[in-house]
Amino acid sequence: MNTLTKERIYTVSEITKDVKLILESSLSAVWIEGEVSNFTLHSSGHMYFSLKDKKSVLRCVMFHRANEILKFEPKAGMQVVCFGSLSVYEARGDYQLIVERMEPKGVGALQIAFEQLKEKLFKEGLFDAEHKKLLPVLPKRIGVVTSPTGAAIRDIINVLSRRFANLNVILYPVMVQGSQAAGQIAQAIDDFNTFKDIDVLIVGRGGGVLEDLWAFNEEIVARAIYNSRIPVISAVGHEIDWTISDFVADLRAPTPSAAAELVVASKEEFLSGIQNIFARLNAAMQSIADILSSQLSALKNAYVLRRPLNVFLQYQQRIDELTGRLDALSPTAILSRGYSITKRSADGKVIKDSSQLKKDDEIVTRLHKGEIRSRVEAVG
């Protein structure tokens, strides 16, 4: 015991505080990779999970202020790299990683976020063809959601002016990249839908890398496009890669210039189309006129029109013949030739054989004119 008194003896709290001091001071900015497990998103917005490898498990927490800027949704089994600081939880004497940043290992965070949102909206039916609206044949007022200083609006106006100069273009200026861009784009689409005289919308920007185009991959923009009663053309300037907006929109154009060409035909094409319609109408009317003329000629040459009295007499003769046949088959005509019909009074049954009667049966005999009632005296 005397030996022990020469050494410092720590309490549990004391040693825990020392461990906390050492860990938190020496490991305050570390990158750690591992597999996400036991992931929980709390109602507070904080994320609780573990990072594990084949030998160890490390508890982690990512508070709401840090995870709200994540571009992807962490899931169990995902390989990630986390940046943060180690912290000792004194009450339990264990430690955890306070995560400030998280990146997926291998594939970029934006690409994972894109695939996750694409799958989600696909399952909800936002990409289904049955929801696509047709573009108007000749729009009068075209709404454009894009930057007021970018090349996109200049390209759109130039193409529309060249193809059909008397169209009205209404620009709703927005940011097309940055943290505020998605909200502004969605609000612009919603605001345009409060107007009654906007025929079609072009939503887009010039080209750029994935990060520059990201506003058009945000869920808020996708849902605004889907909920728009006005047909929407997505015109994000990238001919190869598609954005989420491209999938949801009623029509996708690879560039803003292409969107302007899709939204309205050139004046020459429009006039040519009208001429083709008139040509088809004239051909159809001429065909109908030829058919009616042929039918009229056939009627003029018909026997019934050339000799109507003969036709009438033939039908009258036919009617007389049929009337004679009906009279010959009439029961009344048969009785007029001396025949009679005898029935039993009790049940009205026609008597065809004397065996159907017995003595004292009452019978009625119908003649051509009148009837005779009798009682049977004998049956032979």
According to DSSP H, which parts of 253-376 are helical? Answer: 256-263, 267-300, 303-306, 308-329, 331-336
The larger pLDDT score, comparing residue 370 to residue 170, is at: 170
- Asked if 62 and 99 touch (Cβ cutoff 8 Å), the reply is yes
| Percentage of residues in the chain having pLDDT higher than 70 | 89
142: pLDDT strictly greater than 80: yes
Predicted confidence band of residue 300 (pLDDT cuts 50, 70, 90)? low
DSSP string, 163-217: H-TT-EEEEEE---SSTTHHHHHHHHHHHHTT-SS--EEEEEE----TTTTGGGG
pLDDT in tens, 42-53: 999 999 999 999
pLDDT attached to residue 306: 61
4: pLDDT strictly greater than 60: no
Rounded Cα–Cα distance for residues 305 and 325 (Å): 30
The strands making up 362-366's β-sheet, listed across from edge to edge, are: 341-344, 362-366, 371-375
- Asked if 80 and 33 touch (Cβ cutoff 8 Å), the reply is yes
Instruction: Classify residue 338 as left (phi > 0), alpha (psi -120 to 50) or beta.
Output: left
85-99, 210-224, 298-312, 344-358 — which is least confidently predicted?
298-312
Rounded Cα–Cα distance for residues 320 and 371 (Å): 32
33: pLDDT strictly greater than 80: yes
pLDDT attached to residue 31: 92
The single-letter code of the amino acid at 328 is A
**Average pLDDT value for residue range 62-74:** 88
Q: 329 to each of 189, 213, 264, 318, 324, how far by Cα in Å?
A: 86, 96, 80, 17, 9
Q: Name the pairing type of β-strands 94-104 and 168-173.
A: unpaired
Structural fold of domain 114-265: Rossmann fold (3.40.50)
**Average pLDDT value for residue range 166-172:** 89
The single-letter code of the amino acid at 326 is L
pLDDT in tens, 235-260: 997 667 789 999 999 999 999 999 99
Domain boundaries, the chain: 10-106, 114-265, 267-301, 340-375
Top CATH class of 10-106 equals mainly beta
- Asked if 69 and 94 touch (Cβ cutoff 8 Å), the reply is no
pLDDT attached to residue 303: 58
291: pLDDT strictly greater than 80: yes
Q: Give the 3-state secondary structure of residue 218.
A: coil
Predicted confidence band of residue 176 (pLDDT cuts 50, 70, 90)? very high
Query: How many other C-beta atoms lie within 10 A of the C-beta of residue 306?
Result: 10
44-48, 167-171, 285-289 — which is least confidently predicted?
285-289
DSSP string, 78-127: -EEEEEEEEEEETTTTEEEEEEEEEEESSS-HHHHHHHHHHHHHHHHTTT
Residue 246 token pair: 């491209």
